[in-house]
Structure 1
Amino acid sequence: MFADIPELVVLLSRYLTTQDLFTCIRVSSQGYHLFVPFLWHTVDDSTPSWKHILYQCSDPGVRCWESYLGQTLTDADKNKDREWLMHVFRKHGHHIRNLTIHWPMVLEAASMASGCLTLQSLTLEMRTPTLPYSIIPGGGYFGPTMNSPPPSLFPGVAEESDYIQPHFCSWIPEIQKEIKEFGWALTQHYWNLIFRNQDLTRLVLHHPSGFEWNVKSTEVFLRGMTMLKHLKELQGWEFIALPSIWELLAAVPTLESLEAPIDLLPDPLPEVNTTLRTLTVHNALSINSLLDVLGLFPNLSSLTVPMIMVRDAQQPQPQSSRIEKVTSSGSANVLPRVPSVGANLRELVATNVDDYAMLLKLLPDHVELTWFERTKNCMVVPLKLPEHSTRFGVFKAPVKPWYIDEVLEDRPLHDVANELFVTSSRLRVFDSIMHFVHVDEMLRQPWACMGLEWLTCRIVGLDRLKDTEQALVDRVLAPGYTGDLSVEESAAVEKFQRSCAQHHGIYDRLASLSKLKHLELGFENRCQLTYRDGPTYVGADGKEYVKYADPMFDTLELSLASGLDRLGALKGMEMIGFECINHRIGRAELEWMAKSWPKLRLMYGLSKEKQHMLEHNEERTALREHFQQLRPDVVHDSLYNATIGQ
């Protein structure tokens, strides 16, 4: 039986959804013991199911959470869910390997669970609770102890003398006391969970809620980090501003990936670090400091920096004797490009550089440049990069938009994305759904980026027939039709032929990108804030629904009739996305995709709707279920985040 082969069980679990795992553990006792570890292997309390639970575990005084549920919950209900949460972490905590926490209640449950000691990855991104005007005594996040003097919950792990109490001057003394007690309990659970899991390989500390107590000194922070003997990746710290990263690297010599500020390079420069592979810098660097960093981390493969200042640098001078071919941070000199500086660097991620031409001359030829877009329609620098280097390979928008404000009448006449495709021969990734390519412009010139692997971009401007025009075309092109065409019929036929040529041209262009794996052509264009208080209608079931905007009309049809099968050459396709575009995908198209793209693993466009008060779409559901039968290994999801802007 397959249960006797652990490797087969592990392989099977990779293709099971959460609901599938729930079903498996309910089948039999054997299924329970086999699949419970996989069900609890990864826990993220930001998922919708956890949100529903945790809203009910919240402080009863937090009015916005009660209004979210549309009802007033009793204390008995909250206590029941809180007890359930504590119980599941006590029972299943030893299975958890990857844990992401946003909610104080989950932090407490994980910290108190005796078996939650084998985490490999921990992400702590605490959310700031919305406090009421008056806090109900005894209704705090950590139970009735909130009203007593703040205890030391974990002596020897988190001592009050090592932390700084926050001040809330605008609150009355009674509320200040309650908040400080809450913050101290939160801080203790925070650090207790970290230090109890000394086998952590990945730790992400982001966005403290504002109630945690800050670490009082660098020594305290480093003493705690020293306990993590196997830590390889550390992102951010908001509890203490370290003067530099060098003490941290000495305390945690196993670090391979680090996100941190580097305000000043010490003089003399510290010892060379050969362990670090990935570094994300929070602050701007001069070109001299950049070269110093590359020399101090000779095995660095990826460097991310918000800004590189090049123009103030002077002409090259004699090299530093302390570190070969690396300038001293105190000098204002620039070295010529040499192989030993950044010899292993493969990716430089930058948001702003004042002189790309000079920067590219100083870096080794093998370095690939990634450009992160910070503002919409700001691509002036990437367009100029091919003039200086063919090494520009990745363009990304750092934050996914939660919807596209796509109104045909207000759409800009021109977008610069196509210019980048025409000029950048080394472009591998274009990930910005905010940008679009107009079909006529797209087909006017050949693309240079034939190695493109990831394309997230809208293709618009197609001549799509309206229903009345389609009816005319179907009639006059039917076999046996011999009548003379009217002006209206001739116009419809010409539009149909033009649309066919556009579709075939786009499909052929995409098919020529033989390395393409990720193709995302559409995104949510309905802002729920716009429609939340707008007109409603009564559906077939008698319920009230909101009428949202229609899909973007002038987009790809993606039907076999329009030439979709021309994309059959893309055997490496792993993702296809067609959210909110005017597609005509049916069962035949899905069956073709299932057969023609054997590596497909992710689809955006048929997942369950996330919009507010939207009527159930039976056709969409039927298509999703049909494809799930054809390809159960493909995940259906959406980039739309329904929680943003609520």
Structure 2
Amino acid sequence: MAIISTSISPPSTSLPNQALLIVELLERVGSHLAPPDLLSCVQVSQYWNSVLIPRLWHTIDDRLYSWACILNMYVSHTAPRLLRIVKAAQDANRSSSSSNNNIRGSTNAIEEGKVLGQIALDVWPSKRTETVRWLFNVFKKYGRYVRVLRVSWPIVIRVAGITGHCNQLQVLTVHRIAMRQGPARNREEVAVRRQQYMADVTWTENYTGPTADWPGFWRRIADEDDEARFWSTNPPYLLDEDPLWLNWGIVQRFWILVLRNPMLEHLSLGRGLKTLVPFTSQGLVYYILGTLSRLKTLDNRFMGLELQKVLEHTSTTHSGRNRNLFYFMDSGCGSVLRLEKDFAHLTTLAIKGSVESSYVLMFLKRLANLDQLFLGRITLSDEGQSLFVDTDDSYEDKSCLFALSGLHLFLVGGLTAEYKPIHEALATHLIPRLPLLTQLTAEVLTPKMARALATHCKQFRVFRQGGDDECINENLTVKTELNVVSILLESCPNLTTIDAIQHRIDATYLAEHPWACEATLETFRCQIIGFERLTFEEYQDMSMSEQDTIQLPSRGAAEEKYKRSQEQHHRVYECLSRLVRLQTLDLGSDVKSAEFHLFGDGGDEPTREVNGRIHLIDSNPIMDCLELSLTSGLDQLATLGNLKVFGFEGLDHRIETAELEWFATHWPQLAVMRGLHIDDSETLNKRDTKTTRQRQVMQKLRPFVHHESATPTSILERRLHMAF
């Protein structure tokens, strides 16, 4: 962060307090403080104010802190704050009317309610103007400090574009627009909206003067683009059939804001921009992209663009040097994906939606330096050609190799017969041409795909399961093949990550097939099943005294089963104990379905009790899983001294207080546990008292261990989150 020049000198103070006046120290401390704490710091003294103000205004995200409360005042007469005032007046009215007071008192209450409501409506225009002026002054005074701007309110877009002081942005993100109304119901409402808009614009432009850089720029675009010419001469706010409350002026201000920030490195054009205007010129977008000489990441979800034109306008910097670009696009918006030219500057391409298989090789051939490829779904091509087979006659070598290191397929249709040809072609034709592949994300892994990775990709390191949902419910989970993940563990000596919680390995199979990656594996998220586990009744049979053996012939069978189970557990524990570099060990998942998160839990979901714990019927625990008890051999995992994440949710794990004490003692770096967290189900939180008690015990033993659910986050979303 740049240090602002100031004439303010540090005040004289005692020697012990002089450290608090060191600029570098203040800046370092300020970088770790949240905006509310920074706001308190800048009020300490004029010296602290001068040093920390740039840090306070480094990032503006109008979804956080008090922004929504302030901006709600601007929206309309339906804003929450005004509604609360009117509702309070109405409540007072109803309360007085329903009381047994005399008629005169009731009449006074009614009149009082009407007066309060009218006062609220009368002060509304002044409140709107007050909000706009405050926002204008913020960007005029502090806009030069803003480096990261994340917006979801059009008024913020318009004011930031008008002031001209917000011109040092490095990150600009548009989220879903929060301030939107439906179509106007009549001409009178259209006239009122237009009058409110023009009043606000007139006030702000009287302070800033006309925007000099937009008219000439727009004329150049309109000369080349017929659709742009139409919208420039017929802006929506001049039409009686105004379909949205927003207007062409805000669209102008947004692109002016982008134009004034040529140093932008990350630009996110979210779906919220769709609500600004029914159409935005493609030529406008292409031209502006060409002005961003430092652009590294582009996220486009609001309109269809031609991939080739985007790459043409972002191909080189102003100095002529190539640069790397991460481009995310939504093919569902009508984007055109075909490439007729080669481009060397694109290193990461992410496409949400369906992509025909014929395009995959086109991307690999045309994008020579492509390193990471993210595809939502591969569909069968209509051209009748073999999947992933090069049919381009201009390429003499039909089996040329590609330098791709990461292939991420988030939805390939599971193991259904319809998508079996895609799995076969991936293993037969595509993976053999990717010798540098180190990462693969796929919804499912087939044996042929696993063997192809082991044979052709000698440096392969990471396999992740694609898709967005994780659940142990067999009716919701993706069907996978048993032991297929073990092929990678046995054959890839550089493997570091297996993140595939819906895939399963049989315990007996695991013990009989040693892993080649014992010295490198750091993350293991996979179910280990097939253990012979004693039921609660069988444990009771074994606890009976010897004199009762005659009356209990099943005791001998239980003892034999227990011996087999112990041997099975010890062999698996021995295999896991050799993973000395392991940082994440996650053996289960109990994440609810998308429907549960959408509609919530009414508190009356059907449940069942298993070994003292309450489970939803739809998420019954895995019963043949690894028993995580000291009696089963858990202490063999004392070698996992680097373990940071331990997950066992959704398992019949048999963990008790003794095991929790063992975790706290033998895993000093443990930071996250998944299995004792506060569940998002109201039913489970109220009834599962055993989990609550154990979480409290663990919090006393290790208060800094975080308890969470293993909510899945795709690698693409993590990359986008890091970028923006």
Q: TM-score category by the smaller chain? A: 0.5 to 0.7
Distance 1:121 1:204 in 2: 8
Q: Quote how far apart the aligned CAs of 1:182 are.
A: 1.9
1:452-510 Cα offsets, whole Å, 9 max, x none, are 3333323344455555544555x45xxxx654532344444445444444443333333
The 1:595/1:25 distance shift into structure 2, 3 A limit, reads: farther
Distance 2:541 2:73 in 1: 57
2:637 aligned counterpart, secondary structure: helix
2:600–2:681 contact (8 Å) kept in structure 1: no
Partner of 1:511: 577
Distance 1:55 1:497 in 2: 67
2:313 aligned counterpart, secondary structure: helix
User: Is 1:565 paired with 2:635?
Assistant: yes
Q: Quote how far apart the aligned CAs of 1:401 are.
A: 0.6
1:281-317 Cα offsets, whole Å, 9 max, x none, are 675556763553354x3xx43344565999489999x
Distance 1:96 1:488 in 2: 74
1:562-596 Cα offsets, whole Å, 9 max, x none, are 43333332333343333343345566555554554
1:180–1:211 contact (8 Å) kept in structure 2: yes
Q: Which amino acid aligns with 2:266?
A: R
1:514-558 Cα offsets, whole Å, 9 max, x none, are 443333333235453788468469xxxxxxx99776651424443
Partner of 1:446: 514
1:165–1:214 contact (8 Å) kept in structure 2: no
Q: Which amino acid aligns with 1:455?
A: F
1:229–1:254 contact (8 Å) kept in structure 2: no
Q: Quote how far apart the aligned CAs of 1:331 are.
A: 1.6
User: Is 1:235 paired with 2:299?
Assistant: yes
2:151–2:175 contact (8 Å) kept in structure 1: yes
1:99–1:121 contact (8 Å) kept in structure 2: yes
2:482–2:505 contact (8 Å) kept in structure 1: yes
Q: Which amino acid aligns with 2:449?
A: P
The match for 2:528 among 434, 459, 462 is: 459
2:642 aligned counterpart, secondary structure: coil
The match for 1:126 among 168, 176, 193 is: 176
Between Structure 1 and Structure 2, the one with more helix by share is 2
The 1:148/1:314 distance shift into structure 2, 3 A limit, reads: closer
The match for 1:205 among 253, 257, 269 is: 269
The 1:627/1:11 distance shift into structure 2, 3 A limit, reads: farther
Distance 1:55 1:488 in 2: 71
1:171-223 Cα offsets, whole Å, 9 max, x none, are xx999845434264664564455445443322233434642336654442233
1:166–1:213 contact (8 Å) kept in structure 2: no
Larger Rg: 2
The 1:368/1:104 distance shift into structure 2, 3 A limit, reads: same
Q: Which amino acid aligns with 2:170?
A: Q
Partner of 2:442: 372
Distance 2:361 2:166 in 1: 46
Distance 1:27 1:241 in 2: 46
Partner of 1:247: 312
Distance 1:552 1:302 in 2: 37
Q: How does 1:145-224 map to 2 (within 5 A)?
A: 155=211, 177-182=241-246, 184=248, 187-188=251-252, 190-191=254-255, 194-208=258-272, 210-213=274-277, 216-224=280-288
User: Is 1:638 paired with 2:638?
Assistant: no
Distance 2:53 2:605 in 1: 44
1:309-363 Cα offsets, whole Å, 9 max, x none, are 99489999xxxxxxxxxxxx7625335547xx63xx4334456573543444544
TM-score normalized by the length of structure 1: 0.67
1:146–1:181 contact (8 Å) kept in structure 2: no
1:536–1:546 contact (8 Å) kept in structure 2: no
Partner of 1:357: 428
Distance 2:142 2:698 in 1: 33
The match for 2:681 among 602, 611, 622 is: 611
Distance 1:460 1:49 in 2: 49
The match for 2:405 among 346, 354, 361 is: 346
The 1:291/1:241 distance shift into structure 2, 3 A limit, reads: closer
Distance 1:515 1:334 in 2: 42
Distance 1:491 1:57 in 2: 75
Distance 2:648 2:305 in 1: 44
Q: Which amino acid aligns with 2:681?
A: Q
Which stretch of the first structure deviates more once superposed, 601-610 or 146-155? 146-155
Q: Which amino acid aligns with 2:635?
A: D
The 1:78/1:448 distance shift into structure 2, 3 A limit, reads: farther
Q: Superposition RMSD on alpha carbons, in Å?
A: 5.8
2:622–2:650 contact (8 Å) kept in structure 1: no
The 1:181/1:230 distance shift into structure 2, 3 A limit, reads: same
1:186–1:212 contact (8 Å) kept in structure 2: yes
2:27–2:52 contact (8 Å) kept in structure 1: no
Which stretch of the first structure deviates more once superposed, 351-360 or 232-241? 351-360
Distance 2:54 2:654 in 1: 41
The match for 1:292 among 365, 371, 374 is: 365
The 1:182/1:358 distance shift into structure 2, 3 A limit, reads: same
1:241 aligned counterpart, secondary structure: coil
The 1:215/1:179 distance shift into structure 2, 3 A limit, reads: closer
1:131-182 Cα offsets, whole Å, 9 max, x none, are 7697799999x98866769969884577788676999xxxxx9998454342
Distance 1:386 1:95 in 2: 49
The 1:198/1:502 distance shift into structure 2, 3 A limit, reads: farther
User: Is 1:302 paired with 2:367?
Assistant: no
1:180 aligned counterpart, secondary structure: coil
Q: Which amino acid aligns with 1:400?
A: D
Q: Quote how far apart the aligned CAs of 1:62 are.
A: 10
Q: Percent identity?
A: 24
Q: Quote how far apart the aligned CAs of 1:247 are.
A: 1.7
User: Is 1:552 paired with 2:621?
Assistant: yes
The 1:500/1:24 distance shift into structure 2, 3 A limit, reads: farther
Distance 2:587 2:622 in 1: 13
Q: Which amino acid aligns with 2:456?
A: S
The 1:147/1:641 distance shift into structure 2, 3 A limit, reads: farther
The 1:114/1:598 distance shift into structure 2, 3 A limit, reads: farther
Q: Quote how far apart the aligned CAs of 1:123 are.
A: 3.4
Partner of 1:334: 397
Q: Which amino acid aligns with 1:120?
A: Q
1:390–1:424 contact (8 Å) kept in structure 2: no
User: Is 1:385 paired with 2:385?
Assistant: no
Distance 2:481 2:66 in 1: 42
2:362 aligned counterpart, secondary structure: helix
Aligned residue-pair number = 589
The match for 2:500 among 423, 429, 432 is: 432
Which stretch of the first structure deviates more once superposed, 496-505 or 126-135? 126-135
Structure 2 segments unaligned to the other structure (5+ residues): 1-16, 92-116, 232-236, 330-334, 413-421, 607-613, 714-724
Partner of 2:482: 415
The 1:387/1:247 distance shift into structure 2, 3 A limit, reads: closer
